[in-house]
């Protein structure tokens, strides 16, 4: 069957007669201009979202919050570990977890001396500043606290810094540390070598007046973990080299004059 086509004057579009027949002007207009149909205007469908691309992950604030919580938990865990490890470390008698105090604990000033028994500059420091520290200690002007660190273990094939520091802990336990410290520097080995053998450390301690189980203490390196703890606390205090001197917590030049001035200052 052949359909006759009718041209609508208004639109210029052609529609089949069969489609045009039976429809009024309004219906024909809707057929040709559905976008203008007021009945359809409110029925337009919203764009369909792709379920694969419309999903959103956690917000940036949520991610930052998670990172902060994880970091805080790690810091708390580290603090607990450090406290537990410090509290479980054997501390020598007459010493603390941070070092070996000498002199009057009630003195108005505290001089902290960070030293390494393998350090050649520390030997020079002992020769030049040792008498001043001794005078400040004996006069009661300052308490002198020694911190034997182990920075120069790498400069010895036998970890002499740790062995000597642990032996210093044994000397503190035997109440002969000041004498032992002088003897260690008077017999300091060459940096980069093996260091003094344990037998010589024992002999120096006995020369300083140590008795009892001092020899066994040195041979067992009884206070080696304590020495590592002293070193860790020194680094936490900002110490990165030896000798380092602090007076009441403030860095001071490692010279007799600077130390005396800092102690005398109000």
> What confidence tens digit (pLDDT) does each residue in 216-236 have?
999 999 999 999 999 999 999
CATH code, residues 100-264: 3.40.30.10
- Between CA 241 and CA 235 the distance in angstroms is 9
Take residue 100 and report the two structure tokens written for it.
Answer: 């070996």
Provide the residue ranges of all domains of the chain, joining segments of one domain with +. Answer: 5-41, 100-264
Q: Write down the pLDDT at residue 19.
A: 42
> Which stretches of the chain score pLDDT less than 70?
1-66, 68-87, 266
Q: What is the pTM of this model?
A: 0.69
What's the pLDDT at 87?
58
């Amino acid at each position: 069957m052949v359909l006759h086509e009718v041209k609508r004057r208004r639109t210029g579009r052609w529609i089949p007669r069969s489609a045009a027949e039976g429809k009024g002007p309004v219906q024909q207009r809707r057929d040709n201009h559905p976008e203008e149909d007021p009945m359809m205007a409110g029925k337009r469908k919203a764009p369909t979202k792709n379920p694969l691309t419309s999903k959103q992950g956690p917000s940036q604030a949520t991610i930052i919050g998670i990172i902060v919580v994880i970091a805080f938990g790690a810091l708390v865990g580290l603090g607990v570990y450090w406290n537990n490890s410090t509290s479980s470390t054997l501390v020598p008698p007459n010493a603390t977890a941070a070092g070996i105090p000498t002199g009057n604990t009630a003195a108005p000033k505290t001089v902290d001396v960070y030293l390494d028994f393998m350090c050649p500059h520390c030997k020079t420091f002992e020769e030049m500043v040792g008498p001043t520290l001794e005078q400040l200690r004996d006069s009661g002007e300052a308490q002198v606290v020694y911190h034997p660190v182990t920075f120069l273990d790498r400069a010895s094939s036998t970890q002499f810094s740790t062995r000597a520091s642990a032996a210093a802990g044994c000397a503190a336990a035997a109440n002969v540390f000041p004498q032992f410290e002088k003897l260690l520097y008077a017999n300091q080995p060459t940096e980069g070598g093996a260091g003094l053998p344990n037998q010589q450390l024992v002999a120096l301690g006995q020369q300083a007046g140590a008795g009892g189980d001092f020899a066994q203490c040195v041979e067992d390196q009884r206070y080696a973990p304590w020495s590592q703890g002293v070193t860790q606390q020194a680094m936490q205090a900002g110490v990165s080299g030896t000798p380092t001197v602090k007076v009441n917590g403030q860095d001071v030049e490692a010279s007799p004059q600077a130390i005396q001035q800092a102690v005398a200052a109000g």
